[in-house]
Chains A and B, each alone.
Chain A
Amino acid sequence: GAGVSQSPSNKVTEKGKDVELRCDPISGHTALYWYRQSLGQGLEFLIYFQGNSAPDKSGLPSDRFSAERTGGSVSTLTIQRTQQEDSAVYLCASSLVQDRVQPQHFGDGTRLSIL
């Protein structure tokens, strides 16, 4: 597609369940980023992929969070044993390459609500 696609757009789940969030970047974009947007914390970086490798996972808040990218394209962010503090909008972005000049293009996000 023309833009970054994320699914689902909304997810409501019970505390303790696992969730998977999907991101389909712009075709040809080698760099992929996950961010989290929450009321108290603003926009926080989670993890970045260059191709299928994740050189920077420093933003993942706990070991319950993991992500992978396959075929240099689609990425999945997995949250295990969800907690209420995981409720947020999870944003995915991609850019042509990972240098500072290229802008990042964002998807519409997945709104995650933990009951």
Chain B
Amino acid sequence: GDSVTQMEGPVTLSEEAFLTINCTYTATGYPSLFWYVQYPGEGLQLLLKATKADDKGSNKGFEATYRKETTSFHLEKGSVQVSDSAVYFCALRGNNQGGKLIFGQGTELSVKP
């Protein structure tokens, strides 16, 4: 079945460092891909999405490009802030499973001043 694999955390960075969180997927058909973020004590928020190959999703300085040839959707940010400290989840959504989200295991990011 469909699955998502993320790099394991926790990831600890200094403020203004470059961030990459790797995400790869296995899916039949052509899923949409999402990054969700969960700040401490809060629910899941949609960060960005891409619905077809070569689409780039972006929001709040974060970017991810849907790469069908490598089945990847890596999350990047050029300069992280302390306020970016959170857990990040990569997810896919296909048409043939009622549209349920399949999540990766989450990657905890901690940004130090």
Which residues of chain A have a CB within 8 Å of any CB of chain B? 31, 33, 35, 42-43, 45, 48, 50, 55-56, 59, 91, 93, 95, 97-109
Contact = CB atoms under 8 A, between A and B. Distances in A.
Interface of B: 30-32, 34, 36, 42-46, 49, 51, 89, 93-95, 97-106
Nearest to A102: B99
Nearest to A45: B100
Given A45-B101, A103-B34, 9 more contacts: A31-B99, A42-B106, A48-B99, A55-B98, A56-B100, A93-B101, A103-B49, A106-B44, A109-B43
B93 A100 contact: yes
A43 to B, nearest CB: 4
Q: Which 7 A-B pairs have the closest CB atoms?
A: A108-B43, A98-B99, A43-B103, A106-B44, A56-B98, A100-B32, A45-B100
Contacts, number: 62
Nearest to A55: B98
B32 A33 contact: no
Contacts of B44: 91, 93, 106
Nearest to A44: B103
A33 to B, nearest CB: 6
A106 B51 CA distance: 19
Contact of A106 (B43, B94, B102): B43
A7 to B, nearest CB: 13
Contact of B51 (A35, A100, A108): A100
Contacts of A95: 99
